[in-house]
Structure 1
Amino acid sequence: MANRTLNMVKLKRAFQMLSASTPQREICAQLHIGRGVLNRYKKLADEAKVDYGTIGRMSEGQIHSLLQSPPTPKPSEQKNELKELLPDYAEDLARHRHLTIQLLHEEYLKEHPNGYAYTQLKKHIRDYQYANNLSYHNTYISGCEMQIDFAGDKLYVTDRKSQEHIPVVVLCCMLPFSGMGYAKAMYHASMEYFFSGLSDAITYFGGCPEVCKSDNMTQWMKKSDRYEPTFNNAALEWSSYYNTTLEACRVRKPRDKGPVEGIVYKFYQFIYAAIRHEVFHSLDELNSRIFELTDKFNDRPSRTTGKSRRSVFEAEEQGCLGPLPITPFRFRYRKEVKLTGDYHVTVGRLEERHLYSVPYIYVGQRVTVVWDTETVEVYLNTQRIALHKRSFIAGRSTEDAHMPENHLEYQHSKGRNAAFYLEEAEVIGMYTLKAVEKVLASPKYVSHAYRSCEGILSLRKKYGKERLENACKRVSESGTVTYSMLKNILQNNLDKAENRPNVCCIPTNEYVRGAEAFSNI
């Protein structure tokens, strides 16, 4: 109690009562202070040789400097050494997130064996960080700025077949004046997705801000510099399209875009937490849910003002945004390739490598491939010769019109079945139908039987339907029919020869049992 610091107002009143000869017991009772505390300050006044009434007329600052100014201790050698090291320690901790004070303390003791222990070193570092953690309050103008950032945590799309969880990144944008936010999930943060996401954000806000600000991300920075940053051509093209100015934060200064950093954290709480148990099988499903929650977030009223972000935006900021172009900007990749014999061009990363068909008549010529997140186009000089919808799944997109006739015929043949071959054979004639039925009934693999039927029906192109029907009639009594038998008959013109006894049939006698005898084995 004796060492407790006394309030200056009470202390001033105590000396006024002492100068009026008020008993100390009554002073302590009225001011709720201890006798020991009052005696300590009386002793300090007596040592200073100052009258009680004079102290009672002083200001609080004068009383404090007279009676409570603690002696300034001389800084120790340990503290002087540490004072020079504290800026470097604070900077190292800020730059290297895995660095610990424990490791710094071990390095500190190697150079200063008589230095502070771990607890005291940690206290001095934390005090220095707190004292130098200053924040400047920015004032934002309506419609002036849009801030951009990627969320650090990812969301996931689940593959329907393999149930594999595919990570996706989330782009976050906001208008700091009203706090209006926007979020969109993308497969990755490449330039085609990044600029598409920015265009969608501006479309969502319904207008173009004067400035778009982000950190020094490689998607739009060519060279980072505090005073004269250099943006890449794609970023300059995008900013010119929307008539906006690009700005970059200082390197390692996330507070330069503090509002969007804050909204990323709010999206973690409002969007990520809400969908933590939900499963999405496509990016469109995930984005549909994100857009739904983003609208709820923007419509939620503030606890202090009672206004929502959207209401502030519509009342004070929307009219200050610049006009939108008729169509949104789409960043497009370009490459020139020589069309190879498979008449397909390749687009996409390794995990989403997709091939798109081009008319085969352009094989051997140099074509230009142009693609974005929605379409893939192929040009010969200035003429567009192919157009496909962009696919993000590894595979092929082939149009029938781009294929040569033999490739198209082969592709169609892979989708044929027994009913098709029987129907085609019946058109030629009765004996051709029987021949095809025997081939399909033969104990072959199904694929082999289909190939044989394909070969038999192909003979009509070279020899005609009538000759094929005659050849099938010639072997109609045979127990087995093959493509080679019919081909030999037609090649040797045996179908035109006079009818002779069929030597291919199996003679009937008691010594030859035939295939029927083995059917039940």
Structure 2
Amino acid sequence: MPKRRRLTMRQLRQLLRLSADGISVRDIATMLGIARSTVQDNIERATAAGLSWPLPAELTDDVLEHRLFSRQGVKQGIRRRAEPDWGALAVELKKPGVTLSILWEEYRAVHPDGYAYSRFCDLFRGFERRLTPTMRQHHVAGDKVFVDYSGKKLPIVDRKTGEIREAEIFLGVLGASSYTFSEATWSQTLPDWIGSHVRMFRFFGGVPRLIVPDNLKSGVNRSSFYDPEINRTFGMMASHYGVGVLPARPKRPKDKAKVESGVRFAQSCILGRLRNQTFFSLDEANAAIREAVERINTHVMRRLGQCRRDLFETMERPALAVLPAEEYEFAEWRLARVSTDYHVEFERYFYSVPHSLIREQVDVRATSRTIEIFFKGKRVAAHQRRYGGARFGTDPDHMPSSHRRYAEWSPERFRRWARSIGPQTEGLIIAILASRPHPEQGFRTCLGVLKLYQVIDTAQAEAVSARALEIGGLNCKSIGALIKSYKASRHTAEPAAVGEHANLRGPGYFH
């Protein structure tokens, strides 16, 4: 039999007015469009409650409804059939594969004369409505962790200067057990964001199936209802742990109601309790936060009769995936274009790649220790990261053969080459290198001089070198002129002076 719909208080007042005017039950039912039995029932209720028309002016709709329909004298909350522990059933329902049908079958196995399935479901839904909104959400164990930053910050005082710096509060809440992790970091930037996730997974001792973040830039490059774009570094971290990323929909706080509730609870249990303490370092703050989080996780939830830690240990931990053998090392990813000198730039330092990739776009993966460069998903170069010293990190194997020969030049190599010709030539090479601000700037001159000497014999080369040292001719042009002059004289091993000519006066003119 369908449940009788209760009249509105406006209809009840009109019904009582018509009845007081002597209108019959049949006519009242026709005028109000309701059943005669409904009219008779409400007139009897008004008589039993001592109400008659006109009603007192101070009688509000709420008071009228209470007078007519409250079950006075009937003891509430006592049911004739045995009931299960609804809190325990709410916990069991979060376990993978558990349904209300299975729980009802187990209940009837213990209480054969218990409630039928439909009534069992009604009573359970009634219990759920008395829980907090986040508890009412159905989260399967090991399925999701909700992460966010608290809007409130924790002040930390510099012990030397007295300057106050505010730290961010990161929070992670597991969906099924509400087991909570929290810590303070200096910022919401990518390194702190990734580091907090690594430490959160370590705290849980496992990995859920999904991370549900808000749409902050460290996690999501572009928020979208249909196709959100995940930050690549955040995505690589998630891939390392084998966890998916499902950002909350923009402007949909109910998608992450679990963490929103956790944020409010954390703000009262963490910031509220620590408001009178002064912290002088991030480590001090995090030590106090760990104690507050311990209090949160061991607090017994009134409706369920269990604490978050008990729920986590019995229900959530077994459902989490195993942590990888090594923790994720933070790595920043960037796109770069290979320059014409076959180097890419990262933080004002340059790292080489194979010269065949000139002008190609590559991916740079930077950790605190290494720089790795990828082209079409394949690693093509790896370097130790530079924070000082030479700005160029060049692998000889990346150079064209001609460049590689040049890179192998050194002052010692040129001195050995010159020494093989003679002491005068070695002295000339030493003088050329010493005349430059940096020895490398003299490499090309040394190479040019030694190539010029390849067309003359050793004695001639030694004579030219001695003369060049005497007159200070420390460049290829002077050496070339001396060689040309030596070839022209032919009568003496002593080459003619640079620039000898019939029209020149010479030093004797001035004596």
* TM-score of Structure 1 vs Structure 2, range by shorter chain: 0.3 to 0.5
Q: TM-score, length-normalised on structure 2?
A: 0.47
